[in-house]
Structure formats: C-alpha cells, structure tokens
Amino acid sequence: MTKQMLIGMHLGNGYGTIPGSWRAPGMDPTNYTSFDAKVRQAQAAERGKLQFLFFPDGPSHVGDLDNEPPGFNLDVMVTLAAVARETSRIGMVATGSTTFNEPFNVARHFKALDVLSHGRTGWNAVTSSAEDVAANYGRQLPPSHERYGRAHEVVHLVQALWGSWEQSAWTHDQESGRYAHADQVAPINLGGQYVASRGPLYIPPSEQGQPVIFHAGGSPNAHQFAGRWANAVIGSAFSIDDARAQREAFREGAERAGRNPDEIKFIVGLMTSLAPTKRESLDRRISLSGRVFGQRASYLGHMLGLHLDAKNLDRPLAPEQLAAARPSPADPRSVHALEVAHQGWTVRDILAHGVIDYHPVITGPAVEAANHMQEWFEADAADGFWILPDLEEGGVDDFVDGVVPILQDRGLFHHDYEGTTLREHLGAPAQYGVDPRVTQ
Ligand SMILES: Cc1cc2nc3c(=O)[nH]c(=O)nc-3n(C[C@H](O)[C@H](O)[C@H](O)COP(=O)(O)O)c2cc1C
C-alpha cells in the first residue's frame, strides 16, 4: 500500500484563525464559551476521518481585546473531556507546558483523559516561550536550555508515572476478591535538577496504554527533545525545502536517541480559506480582516524593502517598485509575498492571500489545498498536515467535504480509521511507561 498522509484539525477559540472571524456571517459571537460549538466542529472533523484534533494553548492574552477575542480555548483539558464524550474515533491532542506544570498533575490529568477518551489522547508537550504566560504563574521565562532541561525531566517523570501502575496489575476479580496486584503498582522515586515525584499514579492503562507525546518547537533543543520523546511534531514551514530540513532534523534527533526515525511524524501547518473561486475567498478575507490591512501593508513593505502603507491598498505594485523589491532574508514569507505581487494583484489582494500569516495559506477551491498537500507530501516535506481553517464554523466542513474526497480519490488519505486509538491512527509503536531505549 502506498504511504498516506496524516491530517489534524486545529481548534482554537471557536471562531477561526483570521482577524474578524468572530464577526463572520452566521457565526455565533458567543462561540468562545460554547462547548457545543467545539463538539460540532470536532464531529465534522471526525466525519472526514481526520486522525486528530489539535488544541493549542498559551494561557494568556496580549491582543487587542477591544476588537478581537483571545486566541485559545477556555481550557484545553476541559475541552478535550467535552469533545471526547461526543466523538468516538478521532484523536485529541492538547497542549500543556513543561515549564509551568508539575509532572504529577500533567501525568494524572492526561492519563485520566486518555482513559475517558478510550485511548484517543495526546499531549503536546511544549516549553512555552511567552513572558506573559510566565507572569500568570508569577514567574519569569527561564532561558531555553533551562526550559528544555526541565522539559526532559518532566516528560521522563510523567511517562514513569504512567507506567507505575503496571498493565497487568488490575485484576478486579469479584469472585476471588483480588482487586489488584499491589506489588505491580510501585513508586517511581525519580528526581532531577528541576522536578521530582515519588508516585505511584493510581490510574490503570488506557486502551492505548498511555497518551501519545507531541512536541512543537523549532530549535536544536527541540530536535533533541522531540527526537527522544515525541511521536509527532506540530511544525511550521513556508517552503518545501524548509519543511524537509526540519523533518530531517527531527528524524536525526530520533535516531540519535536510538529510535527508528519513522517513529516521529512531522506534521506541518496549513491555513485554509476555501471558496468556489479565489476571488470569493479573497473577498471574504478582506471583508473580515480588512481592518488590519493598513498596518499589514507597512509590514509587507518591510518584507519587500519598499515603503508601503494604507494609501497603497488599491493599486498593484508599480513596475519600478517590483524591480526594486528584495525579499527580506529575515522573513521566510517574503519570497512568496513577492511572487504574489508579481502576479499583478493590488496590495489589498496580496495581503488577502495571507502572505503574512503564520503558515502557508490556501485561498480558493478545495483542489488547490489538495494539490499543495500532495506536492509537499510527495516531496517528503511532511508526514501530514494540521489544518487551520479561517473559520472554524463551516471551515472544518469545507475541508472535510471538499479536500478530503480529493485526497482519498488520489490514494493519499485513508477512507476510514484503521483502529480506535490515537496511537493506531498515527502508526506509533506500543509504549507503556518510559521507552527504555531513550533513558539508557
Ligand atoms: C508550530 C508551533 C506551534 C506551537 N504551539 C504552541 C502552543 O500551542 N503553546 C505554547 O505554549 N507554545 C507553542 N509553541 C512554542 C514552543 O512551546 C516553544 O516555546 C517555542 O517554539 C520556542 O522553543 P524553540 O526555541 O525550541 O523553538 C509552538 C511552536 C511551534 C513551532
């Protein structure tokens, strides 16, 4: 059978990933607090047989609350619990900081959720990089080497706690009266430079044993960390070459840790604004996000080495501007921005293409998204994609009804779940407790 891609669906604040999404026609402006909305969106993703939902998190808000909602879920763990009860197959990956949480709390919450979801839970173990998040914990952000030093210890302890109730310990035999083998539930007694725990954790295995580990980060520290612990990486890249290099760095990290590089899947972000035509997609983005385009025009100018501002929005770049433009080496999105400018779009339309969004953006029909995914996948740039729709309400359905069937017809995406657990969906090997290969 030919290799097939993995697909995850990003669910954030209930509205979508572009400014103004909360005001979209048909959008319930109270979606931010609606768990029913989360369930609806999750069920749509499950209908498309997507392998997982991804809940990012950074428990803070530094944006423009007068005009825009916070970017994240009310609480990713509570969301995961709510969604787990209303879905049956799709995996769910929640983000949790290794810098600001105690390993015992993380181990307990995630394993309980894994039991509740019948083995569909993943933990996106991130080191966090925002001072405003640190401030919410009454702390300052430690330097990267300390964050990653603590991260290694936290994941090690969490997995040791997950394994501290052995898989055969729970007999619950009413006839004999033997509830469990107490000698198979043992303390872990682990401590390091940053964290410690005695254990044990009194939670039996889930259907997949224990949650799957994800990671999101980009530095050499991240490659080493994910290489040792993670089964999947939530990534970000603006070109095939960049994505291939990142994927290779994570695979090398896994090999250095004594693992098979195929055990770590590099999942890259893709933003979608799907519509029957590109013009409709661009117009929707302009009507929702146009308010921020003046400011974005200045930044676009900075990316291209030109002076641009709100006064330039209605014109394409003049031939002399195009001749003078130079993509900024400091911003990997600049090359694509210049390509779009060369196509003759007005500055407003260039911005509506999402050239300064956080991931590559598809504006237009579903086949464009399928083509992009096929090209990257076949170039070994990614093992899969996490999709960030412009609108969570409706945008998930557009992806599932438009893009998924094309990928299935091309043999690039499965037609149904092969198993019932997230571990099976990802093709991740069985693991219970700590992987002995990575702690020797
Ligand atoms: C694609 C991607 C997604 C991320 N998502 C989150 C997130 O949801 N929450 C969070 O606290 N940090 C997130 N991070 C930040 C990482 O936690 C990390 O702190 C940051 O990348 C700095 O680490 P690095 O130097 O290894 O890149 C993300 C990073 C990347 C690259």
Q: How far apart are CA 162 and CA 152, in angstroms?
A: 15
Express each pLDDT in 374-383 by its tens digit.
999 999 999 9
Give pLDDT, residue 319. 97
pLDDT above 70 covers a percentage of the chain that reads 100
Return d(Cα 362, Cα 241) in angstroms, integer. 18
Cα–Cα distance for residue pair 371/63, rounded to 1 Å:
34
The ligand 1 atom at the shortest distance from the C-alpha of residue 148 is: 26
pLDDT digits (tens, 9 = 90+) for 204-243: 999 999 999 999 999 999 999 999 999 999 999 999 999 9
Going through 227-373 in order, the beta strands assigned E by DSSP cover 232-235, 265-274, 361-364
* Among 10, 106, 126, residue to substitute to test ligand 1 (most atoms within 8 Å of Cβ): 126
Q: Which atom of ligand 1 is nearest to the CA of 97?
A: 11
DSSP H stretches of helix in 257-365: 278-289, 293-304, 319-324, 334-342, 347-352
Q: SS3 for 214? A: strand
The closest-lying atom of ligand 1 relative to the alpha carbon of residue 95 is 8
Structure tokens at 380: 């070994």
Ligand 1: centre distance to CA 126 (Å): 6
Among 2, 33, 56, 37, smallest CA distance to 387 is for 56
Centre a 10 Å sphere on the Cβ of residue 346 and count the other Cβ atoms it contains.
16
Q: Which residue has the tokens 């107490």?
A: 182
Counting from 1 in the atom list of ligand 1, the atom nearest the Cα of 222 is 26
Mean pLDDT of 330-357: 97
* Tokens linked to 280: 């409709």
* Mean pLDDT across the chain: 97
Indicate the pLDDT class of residue 311, thresholds 50, 70 and 90.
very high
Residue range 90-116, pLDDT digits in tens: 999 999 999 999 999 999 999 999 999
Q: In the block, which residue shows the tokens 């609480």?
A: 75
* Helix pair 293-304, 334-342: axis angle to 10 deg: 100
Provide, rounded to the nearest whole percent, the portion of the chain with pLDDT above 90.
97
From 106, 127, 386, the mutation candidate for ligand 1 (largest count of ligand atoms within 8 A of CB) is 127
Report the separation in Å between the CA atom of 278 and the middle of ligand 1, taken as the mean of its atom positions. Answer: 31
- The residue whose CB lies within 8 Å of the most ligand 1 atoms, and thus the one to mutate among 76, 93, 128, is 128
Residue 130 alpha carbon to ligand 1 centre in Å: 9
What integer pLDDT is reported at residue 383 of this predicted model? Answer: 98
Q: How many CB atoms are located within 10 Å of the residue 151 CB?
A: 24
**Going by CA atoms, what residue is nearest to atom 4 of ligand 1?**
216
Expressed in angstroms and rounded, the spacing between residue 176 Cα and the centre of ligand 1 is 50
pLDDT at 60: 87
Query: Domains along the chain?
Result: 6-271+380-439 (3.20.20.30), 278-352 (no CATH)
Of residues 55 and 312, more confidence is placed in: 55
50-90 tens-digit pLDDT = 999 999 999 888 889 999 999 999 999 999 999 999 999 99
With a Cβ cut-off of 6 Å, ligand 1 is lined by 56-58, 95, 97, 126-129, 144, 216-219, 221-222, 234-236
Q: What is the mean pLDDT of residues 132-153?
A: 96
Is pLDDT at 1 greater than 70 in this prediction? Answer: no
Of all atoms in ligand 1, which is nearest to the CA of residue 218?
27
- Looking at residue 59, its pLDDT comes to 83
Ligand 1 centroid to Cα of residue 43, in Å, is: 27
Of all protein residues, the one whose alpha carbon is nearest to atom 10 of ligand 1 is 128
Has residue 2 got a pLDDT over 90? no
For residues 162-186, average pLDDT: 98
> What are the tens digits of pLDDT across the range 22-34?
999 999 999 999 9
From 129, 137, 144, 229, give the residue whose CB has the most ligand 1 atoms within 8 Å, as the site to mutate: 129
- Give the number of other CB atoms < 10 A from CB of residue 144: 15
Q: Report pLDDT digits (tens) over 249-286.
A: 999 999 999 999 999 999 999 999 999 999 999 999 99
In the DSSP assignment, the letter for residue 407 is H
Write the Ramachandran bin of 192: left for phi over 0, alpha for psi from -120 to 50, otherwise beta.
beta
**What is the pLDDT averaged over residues 131-148?**
96
The token pair at 428 is 């991740």
Residues 15/393, Cβ–Cβ less than 8 Å: yes
Instruction: Name the closest-CA residue to atom 3, ligand 1.
Output: 216
